[in-house]
Structure 1
Amino acid sequence: MEIVVRWSSPLPAEERFLRLLDDVEQGRFEAYRQDADKRRFLTGRVLAKTVAAERLGLPVDSVKFDATCEDCGKPHGRPRVPGADLTLSISHSGELIGVAATPSVPVGLDVETATRKADDGLIEYALSPAEAAHLTGLTDAEKASAFFVYWTRKEAVMKATGKGLRIPLKSITFSRFDEPARLVESGDPALDPATTRSVDLKAADGYRAAIAVLTTDELSVTEEVWAP
C-alpha cells in the first residue's frame, strides 16, 4: 500500500486559508486562546482538505468534513468526507503538522517533538516490561530518544483503532526502538499484530513520527513537505 504523508509548518491566519473552514471549524478556530493553537488547527484542516481534494479530484474549497465524535457527538472526531473512499489522520506537535491518507483503511499518524524528557514515571506508564528493558544502560538523552520512538508508534496505532488511550499503552509491545517498527504483541482485541503495519518516519529535525495502518498489506510511505 502506497501512502504519502504530507508535512507543513503552521500557516498564517490569512483569508485564503480561513475561507476554507466551514462554520463549525471557524468556531473551533476561534475557541483556541493561543495563536499557536489556532494556526496548528487551521493548518491541519487546510492540509487535510488539500490532500482530500487531490485524492477525490475535487476543488479544495468544495471539500466538507464531518468530524462528529462517535462517542459524544461533538465536532472533535476524526475528519472524514461523507461517502468518500478516504481515511485521514492529522497530527501536530510544535511547529510541525502532518496528514496521512489511505483508501478507507484505518490509519493513524503521530508526531512529537524530540526535545522532551522521559522520566521514570512516563516510562512506567507507557512502556511494556519488554520495551522498558530495552532502555537499560542508555544515557538520559538516549533513553528519551528511544522512548519517543515507542511513544509515536503507540500513539499511531491508538489513532488507527479510533479507541485512543482506552487501550492501555502498556498492553502493547513493539519491536526494539532501533529496529523497524513492528507490533509484536497486543493485549487488546482491537489490535492484532497480524493485521497491523507500522513505519517510523523521518518527519523533520527535532521530531519523532510514526504511521500505523490496520492492514495485512506492506506499506510504502513517502514523506513530502507542503508549501502552499
Structure 2
Amino acid sequence: MRIIKKKIDYNLSREDFLKLLANLNDNDKEKILRYKKYEDSLRSLYGKLLLKDALNIVELNLSYNEYGKPYLQSPYDDIHFNISHSGEWVVVAIDTVPIGIDIQEITNTDIKIAKRFFSKEESEYIFSLSEDNQIEAFFKLWSLKEAYVKAKGKGLSIPLNSFTIDISRDTPILGQGSDSKICEFYSDKVGENYFMSVCRMI
C-alpha cells in the first residue's frame, strides 16, 4: 500500500493551472473544467496529477465503473487506487488489491446526524464518549465508512448505516455479518483538523 498526501495551492494562477492541466488527456481536462468552482477543479486536477506522477506513466487514461469509481485499463489493470480530497488536502492510495481512501476535515458539525447515517451500534458508541471526544470519533468513523464503500467500488449506493465499523479498539474492524470479504482499516489524523482513513479489501 502506498499513500501520497499533498496540500492544494489555492493561490495557483490560472496560467499555472492550465499548464498543469495540459498533462492530462482531453477527457479528464473536460471533467475538470466542468466544475463550477475553481477550488473543485483544483482538487480534481491535483488528485489526477498525484496519481499520474506516483505511477510514473506518460498518459493517465481513466475508465469509470457504473458507480463512478475510476480504474486503470491494461497494462495497469492490476493496480488499484483511490483519490480523496477535503479542504486543503488531496490524498491518493495505491495498492495491488481494491482500496478506498477518504479524508475529512474536522468541522463544527451537529453530530446528531450520526443517528441517521450511522448504525445503531456506531451511534451508541459515539454518544457514550465525553463531549470532547465525540466530534473526533464522528469524523474518524465517517472517513472509515467512506473509505469502505469506496473500496467496495459502489460508493454511496451502499447506505452508510447498513454496516458497522467498530472503532472502540486500537485498530478499527468491520462488524460481524457486514461483509463476506475481509478488509483492513487504517486511520490517522493529518495535521490537527483532518482524519484520513484507508480500507483494503484482502
Query: What TM-score do you get using the length of structure 2 for normalisation?
Result: 0.87
Q: CA deviation at 1:100?
A: 0.4
Corresponding residue to 2:164 among 162, 166, 173 = 173
CA RMSD of aligned residues (A): 2.0
Letter of the 2:107 partner, please give it.
T
AA paired with 1:82? S
**Structure 1 segments unaligned to the other structure (5+ residues):** 54-59, 216-228
| SS of the residue 1:70 aligns to | coil
Provide closer, same or farther for how the CA distance between residues 78 and 186 of structure 1 changes in structure 2, counting only shifts above 3 A. farther
Q: Which residue type is aligned with residue 102 of structure 1?
A: D
Tell me, in whole angstroms, the C-alpha distance in 1 between the residues paired with 2:177 and 2:88.
32
Structure 1 residue 81, shift from structure 2 partner: 4.1
Residues 119 and 164 in structure 2, CA contact (< 8 A), matched pair in contact too: yes
Whether the 8 Å CA contact 2:32–2:41 is kept in 1: the answer is: yes
**Contact 1:146–1:177, Cα closer than 8 Å, also in 2:** no
Displacement after TM superposition at 1:166 (Å): 2.0
State the alpha-carbon separation in 2 of the partners of residues 186 and 38 from structure 1: 39
For residues 116 and 107 of structure 1, what CA distance do their matches in structure 2 show? Answer: 29
How many angstroms apart in 1 are the aligned matches of 2:157 and 2:198?
19
Runs of 4+ with >3 A deviation:
137-141
Paired residues in the alignment total 196
Matched, 1:88 2:81: yes
| Counterparts in 2 of 1:101 and 1:165: CA distance versus 1, 3 Å | same
1:69 Cα shift? 3.4
* 2:138 corresponding residue in structure 1: 147
Task: Check the 8 A contact 1:173/1:186 in 2, yes or no.
Answer: no
Listed one character per residue, the Cα deviations across residues 97-119 of structure 1 (whole Å, up to 9, x for unaligned) are: 0000002x110000000124143
CA distance in 1, matches of 2:66, 2:121: 34
Uncovered stretches (5+) of structure 2, i.e. residues with no partner: none
Q: Is the contact between residue 88 and residue 99 of structure 1 (CA under 8 Å) also seen in structure 2?
A: yes
SS at match of 1:185: coil
More off after superposition, 151-160 vs 168-177 = 168-177
Find the aligned partners of 1:208 and 1:143 in 2 and give their Cα distance: 14
What percent identity do the matched residue pairs reach? 25
Deviation per CA, 1:68-90: give whole Å up to 9, x if none: 3335xxxx531424331211100
Q: How does 1:50-199 map to 2 (within 5 A)?
A: 50-53=53-56, 60=57, 62-70=58-66, 76-84=68-76, 85-103=78-96, 105-120=97-112, 122-177=113-168, 179-187=170-178, 191-192=179-180, 195-199=182-186
How big is each residue's C-alpha offset from its partner over 1:147-166, in whole Å with a ceiling of 9 and x where there is no partner?
A: 11111111101000011122
**AA paired with 1:69?**
N
Letter in 2 for 1:66: L
